């Protein structure tokens, strides 16, 4: 299948996964590329990502979305369809769509209040036939979701604000995960309740961090 982005972008993405010992099936890789095509195509009518980011969607957005899978894949592999994972403010679907493709054994909720994005997410879910993902067209606080095993977000607000929103819907020992630039969360290195995994993305100078915290 021919995709919108060039082969260099595809290779950067695949090389990154290999470097982290993250192995996906050919079917999963193709679904990820189909998802990327949906975003690039949908970006023409709905502002899903910046135009500059469209040309590096694989190496920037797909790669970043799969960071939780790359670092915690052994933990996730032991979970089943009773595991509930909600993504706050899903926007164009990162990280929740790539994670749902990589982790078909987990039930995901893409929570997004803006109508155009909700329509895009639902159409894309149908195209990709992602039975383990449900689109919720509401604000997270009014979604009715509760007792969740995982809650994630990407580029939403500060860690502190995101945590305050998420913890109310987490079950005991549930985990909140977020993807941030390291400079915005470096002060959390002194907080023993927070786990931080630093990483870099292909062709990006900035340092990033996967930050997660368990609800006690």
| Eight-state DSSP code of residue 5 | S
Paired sense of beta strands 133-136 and 148-154, if any: unpaired
The Cα–Cα gap between 147 and 139 comes to: 17
The Cα–Cα gap between 59 and 57 comes to: 6
Two structure tokens written together for 27: 């079917």
- Nearest to residue 206, comparing CAs of 187, 185, 190, 178? 185
Please indicate, yes or no, if residue 133 is contained in any of the structural domains: yes
Task: Output the pTM of the full model.
Answer: 0.94
CB atoms within 10 A of CB 164: 11
Please indicate, yes or no, if residue 2 is contained in any of the structural domains: no
Please indicate, yes or no, if residue 42 is contained in any of the structural domains: yes
Please indicate, yes or no, if residue 1 is contained in any of the structural domains: no
Q: At 46, is the secondary structure helix, strand, or coil? A: coil
Give me the CATH number covering residue 72: 3.40.50.150
The Cα–Cα gap between 77 and 21 comes to: 14
Query: What pLDDT, on the 0 to 100 scale, is given for residue 52?
Result: 72
The rounded average pLDDT for each run of 10 residues, N- to C-terminus, in the chain (216 residues) is 66 94 95 93 79 81 96 88 95 97 96 96 97 97 97 94 97 97 96 97 94 96
Query: What pLDDT, on the 0 to 100 scale, is given for residue 5?
Result: 57
Two structure tokens written together for 67: 């960071």
Decide: 112 and 134 in contact? Cβ < 8 Å: no
Two structure tokens written together for 16: 């990154």
How far, rounded to the nearest angstrom, does the alpha carbon of residue 190 sit from its chain's CA centroid? Answer: 26
Query: What pLDDT, on the 0 to 100 scale, is given for residue 49?
Result: 77
CB atoms within 10 A of CB 174: 20
The Cα–Cα gap between 186 and 21 comes to: 27
Please indicate, yes or no, if residue 167 is contained in any of the structural domains: yes
Give the residue numbers spanning the domain of 119: 7-214
Please indicate, yes or no, if residue 190 is contained in any of the structural domains: yes
Number of domains, the chain: 1
């Amino acid at each position: 299948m021919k995709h919108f982005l060039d082969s260099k972008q595809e290779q950067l993405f695949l090389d990154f996964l290999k470097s982290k010992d993250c192995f996906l099936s050919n079917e999963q890789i193709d679904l990820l590329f189909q998802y990327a095509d949906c975003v690039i195509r949908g970006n023409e009518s709905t502002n899903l990502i910046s135009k500059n980011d469209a040309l590096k969607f694989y190496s920037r957005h797909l790669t970043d979305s799969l960071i939780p899978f790359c670092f915690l894949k052994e933990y996730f592999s032991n979970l089943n369809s009773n595991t509930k994972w909600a993504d706050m403010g899903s926007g164009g679907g990162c990280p929740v769509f790539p994670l749902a493709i990589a982790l078909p054994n987990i039930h995901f909720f893409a929570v997004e209040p803006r109508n155009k994005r909700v329509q895009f997410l639902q159409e894309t879910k149908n195209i990709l036939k992602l039975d383990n993902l449900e689109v919720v067209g509401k604000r997270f606080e009014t979604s009715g979701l509760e007792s969740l095993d995982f809650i994630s977000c990407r580029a939403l607000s500060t860690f502190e604000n995101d945590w305050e929103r998420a913890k109310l819907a987490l079950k005991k020992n549930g985990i909140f995960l977020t993807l941030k630039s390291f400079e915005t969360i470096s002060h959390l290195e002194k907080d023993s309740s927070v786990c931080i995994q630093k990483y870099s993305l292909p062709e990006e100078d900035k340092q990033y961090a996967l930050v997660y915290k368990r609800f006690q």
